[in-house]
C-alpha cells in the first residue's frame, strides 16, 4: 500500500505543473550505507522527467532541527530526521526511542510495520508535514575513549547528548555529564575534548567518530529510525505521475533496513579483524544496562507528556502480539 495514495484525491482539483520542483535535505556521513541508500533514492528521482530537485543530503542546510524547521516553512520540500531530532518538535515520537524498548530487530520490525506510521502521522499533519516513509538508522551503542561495559563506567563522563527525553533522561539516570549537541557538531567536540564519548548507531560511529573514540560497546540500547517527511502543502500540488515516482523512491523501508543491518554486521566484523576495541555484552552486563534503562521509563514518559502513555501502551500491546505469534512453545 502506497503511503502517499491519499494525495491522488487532492490532485483531481489541483493541477500541478508538468515538472514539480523542490529541495531535499538530510544529514548522512559520507561513505556510509545511509549515503548509499540516499543515492539509490535520488537516482530514481533524477531519472524522472516530472521532478526537479536540488539535493543537500550532507548537512549543508543545518542540523535535523534546523532542516525540519525549514521544511515547515516550505524552504525545503522533503527532508529526513531521526526520531531523536524530531522529538524536539514533536515530543511524543520519543516514546519510540525509549532505551531497551525492543528486545530484537524482529520485534522492532513487527511494531514498526503494524503501528509506528499510524503513531507518527497525526503529529506530523498537525504541523503541516506529511509522513512519506521510514529509513533504518539501526541500533545505538556507546562509544568513548575507554571501555564502557558497565553502567557505572559512564558515570561522570562528558557525553554528547541529543535533547530528546528518551536519551537525555536515560543518560541522566546513568549519571552522565550531558553535553547537548547536534549530530553535526560531534566531530569537533571530540577533537577539542568538549565530549569524551556518546551513543551512536554504527554508520555515524564508523564513518565519523571511530578514530577519536576508539572503544565501541554494543549495548544496542536504542533502536533508532529516521522519518522521511514532506511539506504537506507542496505535496498536495503534485500530480499522479509525480506521486508515483515519490512512492517508488521512498517506500523502500523493508529492503533498506536489511541493507543497514547487513552493513552493520560487516563493519563490526571488520573492526574486530582490524583489532579495534569492540565489545559484546555478556548476559550479566546486559541485564545491568536493561535494569537502569527500564527504571528510567516512567520518568521519561512523564517528561514527554500526556500523549506518551497511550503510545507506550499501544507499543506494549504490539510487543505482546509479537510474542504470542513468534515465541515458540516451551
Q: Which residues contact 179 (CB under 8 A, 6 or more apart)?
A: 158, 159, 160, 161, 189, 194, 195
| pLDDT band with cut points at 50, 70 and 90 for residue 259 | very high
What per-residue confidence (pLDDT) applies to 7?
45
pLDDT tens profile 181-232: 988 899 999 999 999 999 999 999 999 999 999 999 999 999 999 999 999 9
Tell me the mean pLDDT in the region 114-132.
96
Q: Label residue 329 by pLDDT band (50, 70, 90).
A: low
Q: Give the pLDDT of residue 84.
A: 87
- What element of type H or E holds 203? helix 202-204
d(CA 101, CA 23): 34
In this predicted structure, the answer to whether residue 243 has a pLDDT above a threshold of 60 is yes
Percent of the chain with pLDDT over 90: 88
Question: How many whole angstroms from its chain centre is CA 31?
Answer: 18
Residues 87-101 have a mean pLDDT of 93
Domains of the chain in sequence order: 7-326 (3.40.190.170)
Residue pair 224/82 in contact by the 8 Å Cβ criterion: yes
Can you tell me the distance from the alpha carbon of 297 to that of 293, in angstroms, rounded to the nearest whole number? 7
Mean predicted lDDT score pLDDT of the chain: 92
Reply yes or no on whether the pLDDT at 104 is more than 70: yes
- Per-residue pLDDT band at 163 (split at 50, 70, 90): confident
Cα first-last separation, the chain: 36
pLDDT tens by residue, 143-157 = 999 999 999 999 999
Q: What is the C-alpha separation between 128 and 122, in angstroms, rounded?
A: 10
pLDDT at position 193 is: 95
Amino acid at each position: 500500500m502506497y503511503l502517499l495514495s491519499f494525495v491522488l484525491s487532492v490532485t483531481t482539483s489541483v493541477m500541478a505543473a508538468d515538472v514539480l520542483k523542490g529541495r531535499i535535505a538530510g544529514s548522512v556521513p559520507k561513505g556510509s550505507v545511509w549515503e548509499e541508500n540516499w543515492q539509490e533514492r535520488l537516482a530514481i528521482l533524477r531519472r524522472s522527467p516530472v521532478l526537479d530537485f536540488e539535493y543537500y543530503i550532507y548537512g549543508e542546510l543545518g542540523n535535523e532541527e534546523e532542516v525540519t524547521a525549514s521544511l515547515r516553512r516550505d524552504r525545503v520540500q522533503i527532508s529526513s530526521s531521526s526520531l531523536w531530532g524530531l522529538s524536539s518538535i514533536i515530543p511524543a515520537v520519543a516514546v519510540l526511542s525509549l532505551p531497551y524498548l525492543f528486545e530484537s530487530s524482529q520485534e522492532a520490525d513487527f511494531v514498526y510495520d503494524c503501528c509506528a506510521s499510524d503513531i507518527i502521522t497525526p503529529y506530523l499533519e498537525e504541523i503541516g508535514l506529511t509522513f512519506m516513509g521510514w529509513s533504518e538508522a539501526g541500533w545505538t551503542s556507546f562509544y568513548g575513549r575507554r571501555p564502557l561495559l558497565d553502567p557505572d563506567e559512564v558515570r561522570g563522563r562528558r557525553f554528547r547528548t541529543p535533547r530528546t527525553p528518551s536519551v537525555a533522561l536515560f543518560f541522566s539516570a546513568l549519571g552522565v555529564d550531558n553535553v547537548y549537541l547536534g549530530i553535526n557538531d560531534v566531530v569537533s567536540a571530540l577533537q577539542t575534548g568538549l565530549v569524551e564519548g556518546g551513543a551512536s548507531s554504527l554508520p555515524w560511529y564508523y564513518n565519523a567518530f571511530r578514530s577519536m573514540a576508539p572503544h565501541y560497546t554494543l549495548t544496542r540500547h536504542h533502536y533508532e529510525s529516521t522519518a522521511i517527511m514532506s511539506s504537506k502543502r507542496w505535496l498536495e500540488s503534485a500530480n499522479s505521475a509525480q506521486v508515483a515516482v515519490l512512492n517508488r523512491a521512498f517506500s523502500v523501508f523493508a529492503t533498506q533496513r536489511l541493507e543497514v543491518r547487513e552493513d552493520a554486521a560487516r563493519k563490526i566484523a571488520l573492526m574486530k579483524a582490524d583489532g579495534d576495541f569492540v565489545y559484546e555484552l555478556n548476559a550479566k552486563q546486559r541485564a545491568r544496562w536493561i535494569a537502569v534503562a527500564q527504571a528510567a521509563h516512567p520518568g521519561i514518559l512523564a517528561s514527554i507528556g500526556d500523549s506518551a502513555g497511550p503510545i507506550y501502551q499501544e507499543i506494549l500491546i504490539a510487543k505482546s502480539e509479537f510474542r504470542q505469534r513468534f515465541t515458540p512453545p516451551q
